[in-house]
Amino acid sequence: MKAYLLIYSRTKEVDYVPQFLARPAEMTNEEIQLALKYTANAMSGIDYVSGVRYSVFSVGNFCICGGVSCLCKNIIELLYRNDMISETEYHSAEEFLYDRVRRNVAFFIGFAIQKSDIRSVKIPNITLRDYWIQYLEQLKKQWSAKETHSELLNEPIEISEKTYSRREFAPEIDIVEEKRIIKNFKSNENDVLEHYFDRILNQGENASFISDVLDKNLWNGLVFTDVAVSDELYSSLNKFSTEKPGKGMDSVLNFNIAKSQRSPSVSNGYSILENTEIKRTKPIEEFDDSKKKWIYKIQRVS
């Protein structure tokens, strides 16, 4: 199966490369901007995701299969623990865990498949090692550069594929605030991902999925329609739907996460991807009496 890499990452010298570290050359500006919105969700609060976060989505002529976002240190620990990289590979990766001011290096990588290249009933057969090796190869090209650029990829790579039978699995879902919560994701990770690969590739659906949503701020700003949430957030969402506005609502919205952990430190502060740059922001929580619900506004800070 032919696919292009779609990578968003911090490097040693540069705090994230505008319009992706690497992307398909044929991706239009409209497709780039939509992909950045999905990536903003995928990267939000990634410091507090213990392993990796998965996502699946489509933008224009491209299906993004198996988007993985995580800290570099998390993925190499997972790979090493599961004997998917050698001890030598594990230690050589330590160079890429932190930038020059010792902030965690985090990244997003997806395999972008052009809809014209889709083959009926075929889906990618991607391992976690595949994500890491492809990401690391691209990262090394610009790791120490003082100025970075978006690497435009004109030739696709070949990735493994498999035949998919959609009779094999259907996720259990719950509808909350018009979003589809995928239940028991951790025990069915691969099945859920392949289910969404099939939906966007073979069934032509405009489906999107993201895992490991831990906080209400990310939930409120989701571009994704289908989501796997933490047990704590799931409980809080159900509680929030029956709570009346008033004092004490902060505990419902933030579900026992410490204040110091409510914002993503991966970008050294509150950050959102907007157009092609990261802007420093902070969320402001307000209760909209006319709508009888809590809302979040993003305020620019210096």
User: How many other CB atoms are there within 10 angstroms of residue 63's CB atom?
Assistant: 28
Instruction: Report H helices in the chain.
Output: 29-43, 72-81, 87-92, 128-142, 189-201, 216-220, 231-240, 249-254
What stretch of H or E contains 153?
strand 151-153
pTM of the model: 0.81
**Euclidean distance between CA atoms 2 and 107, whole angstroms:** 22
- In Å, how far are 82, 107, 124, 251 from 233, measured between CA atoms? 29, 24, 31, 11
Q: Which residues contact 129 (CB under 8 A, 6 or more apart)?
A: 79, 84, 85
* pLDDT value for 289: 54
Q: Which parts of the chain sit beneath pLDDT 50?
A: 244-272, 274-285, 287, 292-302
* pLDDT value for 253: 37
**Euclidean distance between CA atoms 252 and 256, whole angstroms:** 8
| 25 contacts 211 by C-beta, under 8 angstroms | no
* pLDDT value for 3: 97
